[in-house]
Structure 1
Amino acid sequence: GIPQGTFASMKKRNSIPYAEILEFCALKKISVNWLFFYQAVDMLKEETEKFFQVRYFSDIRASAGGGAEVFDENYETISIDEKIMHNMVGMGNTELEAIHVDGESMEPTLLDGSIVFVDRTQTDINKNGIFIASTTGGLFIKRIQQRVDGMIELISDNSMYPPQAVAADEVTIVGKVVGNIESL
């Protein structure tokens, strides 16, 4: 160790050997924050838990018009503040994914270029809302209803776009849109 007098002298001369201290802490598995600030590791954990990690598929667009590509494994992780997330999606599932809206068929609810947050655990179309649907024609963002004849109806909010009927076996519900951020 470094004697207290020597350390005080180093501090005055602004010559504290930080590299050696970091190496020592790593070797002994000691938290640098604990050493310098008496801050326990669990205190640090509380700070980092105030953000949710969201998988953001920046190159995927859910078509609000004519169909887009399906989800792939090319994503980046973004951090969303806990308070914003809870305001947007409540206290439910925090394992969300984010994609872009492409097209105007869901306006005025969702604008072209907006980012939507998708909860893949919510796939029950009998509950109202907007869903991401994967079809043979691509990825769509629509309101979805099952018709009496068994067909699935993809419904736009923009009245300029008529509903589309698709066979139930040609549709996979990817998840429910639980929040959005409008394009800036």
Structure 2
Amino acid sequence: MDASYFWNGVAIALSEKDRCASWLCKEAGLSLRTMKNRMKKGIQPRLDEAVRISEALALPLESLCRAPGSCTGMPRSKPKEFYDGGFKVPVYEQLFSAGHGQFLADEEEIAGYIAAPDNLRRFDGHLAATFVRGDSMEPTLFSGDTIICDNLGYDGDEGIYLIHYKGMGFVKRLKRSGGGISIISDNPAYEPMFERGTSEDFRVVGKVRHVVH
């Protein structure tokens, strides 16, 4: 989701609660100067910062990331449908983000189908495709890329995975580190995070197995 949507959502929430930016920074443990600079320049907050802001405002993160006037995540790309030399996997309209993320609905409608490479047949029945949004995984993944992933969770090896974090969906690189898991953005502009293990707030959906740029 575009950073401007997030900060616009924050501004609206503050206005509705009759609160100011300094109050929010105090509640979320953030620097007022840094937050104002990011709001002014339209810079995306780090994932952990966005979560702390949403918790301070007592609002779901997805409601802050939503475009003004929108009610659901609409497809940003037309599913590519080709079946030569492969087998079909479903494409979901819900966008996973490599930036802010969007709310992951419990039930989603299939938008179409895409052919998966034959070397992924061993995962047949456990694959789905969706779209990347945001720039935090560049230069590996770009906004609008189609990814095919499994739903088998974390396999213990370093790689790019779909994760649920605080009820939101993200595409991140995972790596075992210091008795836990490092959550890494390939774009060096984004700082890594660390989790001791899976929990209600952090769950690994599965591994990205194929990318269509």
**2:180 matches 1:146:** no
Conserved 8 A contact 1:55-1:75: no
The alignment-based identity, stated in percent, is 31
Shift of 1:138: 1.2
Partner secondary structure for residue 157 of structure 2: coil
2:143 partner amino acid: D
Q: CA–CA distance in 1 between the matches of 2:153 and 2:194? A: 21
Q: CA–CA distance in 2 between the matches of 1:77 and 1:137? A: 22
Conserved 8 A contact 2:85-2:117: no
Distance of aligned partners of 1:180 and 1:61 in 2 relative to their CA distance in 1, 3 Å threshold: same
Shift of 1:68: 2.2
Conserved 8 A contact 2:158-2:176: no
**2:104 matches 1:70:** yes
**2:135 matches 1:100:** no
Shift of 1:111: 0.5
Matches of residues 111-150 of structure 1 in structure 2 within 5 Å? 111-124=142-155, 126-136=156-166, 138-150=168-180
Number of matched pairs: 128
Shift of 1:76: 1.7
Gaps of 5+ in 2: 1-82
Gaps of 5+ in 1: 1-47
Shift of 1:85: 1.5
Distance of aligned partners of 1:163 and 1:66 in 2 relative to their CA distance in 1, 3 Å threshold: same
Distance of aligned partners of 1:53 and 1:90 in 2 relative to their CA distance in 1, 3 Å threshold: closer
Instruction: Give 4+ residue runs of structure 1 displaced > 6 Å after superposition.
Output: none
**2:141 matches 1:110:** yes
2:92 to 43, 57, 69: 57
TM-score normalized by structure 2?
0.53
**2:159 matches 1:159:** no
Partner secondary structure for residue 177 of structure 1: strand
1:72 partner amino acid: D
**For structure 1, which segment, 160-169 or 127-136, has the greater mean C-alpha deviation from structure 2 after superposition?**
160-169
Q: CA–CA distance in 1 between the matches of 2:206 and 2:101? A: 16
Conserved 8 A contact 1:54-1:77: no
